[in-house]
Structure formats: structure tokens, C-alpha cells
């Protein structure tokens, strides 16, 4: 069986006004570079996961322009909110759009993709948590899908990245998340956005993959906020995943040159 191929796009931070960048960067142009790159390989990609902070401060016109791009891509897309999104607005837009943007569980081959909303209990600094109803939902799904390999998708990172300022705004109830996962052997991987940088680690047999943004990248290993200053790492990026029958994952980050 051919592997299931997934593209993860994250942290686009589109503004209401397309002329207004984010931290001095033309985020519209950067997202277009990624979308154009995916268009060139659309026949080989089975689905796209948009993992939050898709707009900045819930910018409604940002969602309109994002929806236009999503409808241009001939690949099924699914999205979740990040701390900068308006989750209720996304729900409404997703319900009205073509396709199944708001779908929470996607089954393909012998895999299940479970999408979660980690924007509960915002701390005002960017942090967020999984509401109890999200944890309950995850529990139910992992039980019901115990014969499938599972990939869990959320915005906030469930493990630290060793940047002090970012580790203060990671998933607020990561402990409860990992306790729940420990009771289920079918979880193979977790992907998140939020950190604007790449990280790939193994946590008790679960592969945790973090992905750079299509917008600005954050510098790795900093006590205080800092933008990436290495030019090769500043490019807009996305992650490709190959999910194999049997539960193996192959993955890479693609940085798209301007």
C-alpha cells in the first residue's frame, strides 16, 4: 500500500489588510510561495493540515483570502485554530465552505488523523490548553480507532522547545495529554504549530514533530523572543509526512526559496 502523504501548513498570520505584514514580513507573499510549491506536487499529496494561527488576531478578511487559496488547491484541507485565530469564526467559515475543513477525524489507509482545538484557557500571552471535552473526545476516538495508527494534530506544542519564553506558552495541560496517550498504544505521532521552528523528537515511542511557519521563524534556544537570523532558516516552510501501513512515519521540512 502506498503511504498516505500529508502536507502541514502552519502559522500564516494573515492580517485584515494584505498590505500589512507581520513583524515586517510580507506574509501573503510567503504563503503564496508555499501554496504554489504544493500546487506543483498536488497529485502526490493526499491532504493538507492547517495547524493554526492562520490569521492574526482573528482577522476576518484574512480568512477570506485564505479560503480562496484553499479552494485553489485540489487537495482536501482540514484546519484547527491557534491562539491568534477566532475558533468560532473558523467554525462558521468552515461549515459554509466546500469540502470538510472542520472535520475532526480523517481516516485513510490504516491511519486516523485526529484534530484537536488547544485554544482553551488562553493565558493572554499565547498559551492554550485542551478543554476537558477535547481530552474526552481524544480518549473516545483512540478507543474507537484502536485498530488504526493515529496521528494527533494540535496547535500548541506538548513538549518544550528549550526557549524559555516559548516554553511558558506551550500546551498548558501537556501532562494530562501525555497521561491520556500513555494508555493507548496506537498513537504514532503528534504534529503541532505555534513554535515557528522545526523540531523532531521521540517521546516514549510517540514521534513529536514541530513545523516552521509560512510567516516569520523564531530563533531556536533563546531565553527571550528572537526572530530567526540565519537566512537559510528564514524562508517560508511546511512539513511533508508519509504515513506508512504499519505505523511508520517519514517526514521532512521543506523550505521554499523566494
Summarize as ranges the residues that interact with Fe ion (CB under 5 A): 11, 53
* 72 Cβ contact partners less than 8 Å away, ≥ 6 residues apart: 35, 39
| 91: its cell numbers | 467554525
Nearer to Fe ion, 141 or 198 (CB): 198
Nearer to Fe ion, 76 or 160 (CB): 160
Nearest to Fe ion of 38, 169 (CB atom):
169
Interstrand relation of 149-154 and 187-192 (parallel, antiparallel or unpaired): parallel
The Cα 92–Cα 152 span in angstroms is 23
Instruction: State in angstroms the smallest separation of the CB of 13 from Fe ion.
Output: 6
Report in angstroms how near the CB of residue 101 gets to Fe ion at its nearest: 19
Q: Shortest Cβ distance from residue 110 to Fe ion (Å)?
A: 32
Q: Which is nearer to Fe ion, 188 or 239 (CB)?
A: 239
Q: Please, which residue, 22 or 111, has the CB nearer to Fe ion?
A: 22
Taking the complex as a whole, the smallest distance from the CB of residue 115 to Fe ion amounts, in Å, to 17
What's CA 209's distance to the chain center, in Å? 10
Say how far apart CA 202 and CA 209 lie, in whole Å: 9
Query: Smallest gap, in angstroms, from Cβ of residue 84 to Fe ion?
Result: 6
Minimal CB distance residue for Fe ion? 53
CB of 82 to Fe ion, least distance (A): 6
Sort strands 111-115 and 105-108 into parallel, antiparallel or unpaired.
antiparallel
Residue among 11 and 28 whose Cβ is closer to Fe ion? 11
Q: Give the CA radius of gyration of the chain.
A: 17
**Greatest CA separation for the chain:** 48
Q: 193: closest CA among 92, 124, 118?
A: 118
Nearest partner of 55 among 28, 74, 73, 33, judged by Cα? 28
Q: How many CB atoms sit inside 10 A of residue 13's CB?
A: 26
Rounded to a whole number of angstroms, the minimum distance from the CB of residue 172 to Fe ion is 16
Bridge partner residues of 112 (DSSP): 107, 150
Q: φ and ψ at 20, to 5 degrees?
A: -85, 115
Q: Which is nearer to Fe ion, 10 or 173 (CB)?
A: 10
Amino acid at each position: 500500500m502506498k503511504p498516505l502523504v500529508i502536507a502541514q501548513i502552519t502559522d500564516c498570520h494573515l492580517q485584515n489588510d494584505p498590505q500589512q505584514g507581520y513583524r515586517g514580513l510580507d506574509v501573503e507573499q510567503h504563503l503564496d510561495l508555499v501554496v504554489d510549491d504544493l500546487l506543483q506536487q498536488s497529485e502526490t499529496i493526499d491532504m493538507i493540515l492547517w495547524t493554526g494561527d492562520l490569521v492574526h488576531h482573528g482577522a476576518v478578511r484574512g480568512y477570506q483570502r485564505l479560503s480562496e487559496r484553499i479552494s485553489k488547491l485540489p487537495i482536501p484541507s482540514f484546519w484547527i485554530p491557534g491562539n491568534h485565530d477566532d475558533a468560532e469564526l473558523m467554525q462558521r467559515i468552515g461549515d459554509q465552505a466546500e469540502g470538510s475543513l472542520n472535520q475532526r477525524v480523517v481516516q485513510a489507509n490504516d491511519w486516523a488523523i485526529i484534530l484537536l482545538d488547544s485554544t482553551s484557557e488562553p493565558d493572554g500571552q499565547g498559551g492554550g490548553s485542551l478543554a476537558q471535552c477535547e481530552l474526552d473526545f481524544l480518549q473516545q476516538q483512540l478507543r474507537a480507532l484502536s485498530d488504526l495508527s493515529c496521528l494527533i494534530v494540535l496547535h500548541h506544542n506538548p513538549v518544550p522547545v528549550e526557549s524559555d519564553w516559548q516554553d511558558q506558552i506551550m500546551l498548558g495541560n501537556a501532562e494530562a495529554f501525555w497521561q491520556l496517550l500513555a494508555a493507548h498504544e496506537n498513537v504514532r505521532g503528534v504534529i503541532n504549530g505555534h513554535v515557528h521552528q522545526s523540531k523532531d523528537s521521540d517521546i516514549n515511542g510517540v514521534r513529536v514533530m514541530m513545523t516552521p511557519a509560512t510567516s516569520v521563524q523564531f530563533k531556536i534556544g533563546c531565553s527571550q523572543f528572537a526572530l530567526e537570523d540565519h537566512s537559510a532558516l528564514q524562508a517560508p516552510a511546511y512539513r511533508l509526512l508519509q504515513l506508512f501501513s504499519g505505523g511508520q512515519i517519514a517526514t521532512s521540512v521543506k523550505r521554499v526559496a523566494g
